[in-house]
Structure 1
């Protein structure tokens, strides 16, 4: 089977994470059996670009409004850019695992487009915490943290694919697992997004990294026990949880 051009994986990552039009991507994806799997390594860098848009809106909006309003506007623009992609996954994840569902039943709940009480509460709390953490930081530190969190969150999704097997059709299955070289590539492509935060608040970044390893490890063990692997909604939840973990660590510092 034909292999997609070298420039196809980053464009596939853009198509996957945003609503931005990317011409002919469907043909490129079909041309390579591992096209989407190769795109996974680029998710952190594309995430950093998304974070750059969010951070720019936040900084610019503070010329007219208080930080909390500026943060809310920034998150609204981000949701338009991404189609609330990860927020939808957070709601589905919380509905599935807020109760005692396991295995196929939990996967079935995640596939249900309706949002229940666990999903509504979980999504509201996570968005609210993210909003509060951003609004609590000085503008430049908040901007650096937003970009770093956006990159690190997508890295969490890549690492979860590397750790756990897919258990349903969808995003996790399309990724097909991430071999060590692609996980290392994703880690390397996270670096540009975290450099500004490393310069402004290196201790916060180290604390966030330590906490992140522990939380991601717990999440992987939890999913292995409950459903035996991961799904696309699990990856989306991991991405949002990764962002929130870093932002809370910076806000605590």
Structure 2
């Protein structure tokens, strides 16, 4: 489990964590167990972002502190989810066929749809945190949303098979996800989910319901427009989950 935890941290962040998978073969062996820890690692990322927010809030207005904290988080994660969201929006906006969309998503350049999608996503998340009312409540939202977003990633991998014949991180990781792994991931994330319920049960109900509805819709959309899931599709789902959870808590303010 320690190696699986280190592998999960290596996958989702840029932190130099010893003890994880050091070769592609070892990565494939460990990623099945590591996926179950994604929600907890997401909560940890949220906690570090919350700490940055609290420190910056001591010297800057709260709204500016939110923006700085999100910038620090992007550096911490290597903008993993932001990059995936931009790529998916480019493919969805510019691709007229699954092959065309996949080709666009593979291009390292970011187009107009990617810029707009990422801009709106970051703006919604930042606005939701600003509406939380202060650093203490925003810290809870960051932790819970970070957990829920990565749980949605595991759910997408469990219900949507990778695009057939396509190489890449999504194809390598996707087969390791299944319903049992999703259940274990949710069980391990239970303490974080309980934190969200104790903070605002209605917001958690809204976030959970929105996540389930999005999963069913996204499953069909990916099959129609891409032919399956990809690494970008999974990473983008993680960011969408974070945004939805953040807005759910903002609605209850």
| Partner residue, 1:161 | 157
Gaps of 5+ in 1: 1-5
Q: Measure, in 1, the Cα distance between the counterparts of 2:129 and 2:27.
A: 40
> Deviation digits for residues 35-64 of structure 1, max 9, x if unmatched?
222211111110100000111112232222
Which structure 2 residues correspond to residues 94-105 of structure 1 after superposition, within 5 A?
A: 94-105=89-100
Q: Measure, in 2, the Cα distance between the counterparts of 1:247 and 1:128.
A: 11
Residue 24 (structure 1) shift: 5.4
TM-score (norm 2): 0.93
SS at match of 1:25: coil
Q: Is the 8 A contact 2:31 2:176 kept in 1?
A: no
Greater mean alpha carbon deviation, residues 19-28 or residues 53-62: 19-28
| Partner residue, 1:3 | none
SS at match of 1:203: helix
Gaps of 5+ in 2: none
| Partner residue, 2:192 | 193
Q: Is the 8 A contact 2:7 2:27 kept in 1?
A: no
Q: Measure, in 1, the Cα distance between the counterparts of 2:101 and 2:3.
A: 34
| Partner residue, 2:179 | 180
TM-score (norm 1): 0.93
Residue 100 (structure 1) shift: 4.4
Which runs of structure 1 show a deviation greater than 6 angstroms over 4 or more consecutive aligned residues?
A: none
State how many pairs are aligned: 248
Change beyond 3 A, Cα 1:190–1:231? same
Name the Cα RMSD after superposition: 1.6
Residues 1:76 and 2:71 aligned together: yes
Q: Measure, in 1, the Cα distance between the counterparts of 2:144 and 2:28.
A: 31
Residue 124 (structure 1) shift: 0.6
Which structure 2 residues correspond to residues 1-253 of structure 1 after superposition, within 5 A?
A: 6-23=1-18, 25-27=20-22, 30-31=25-26, 33-138=28-133, 139-167=135-163, 168-175=166-173, 176-253=175-252
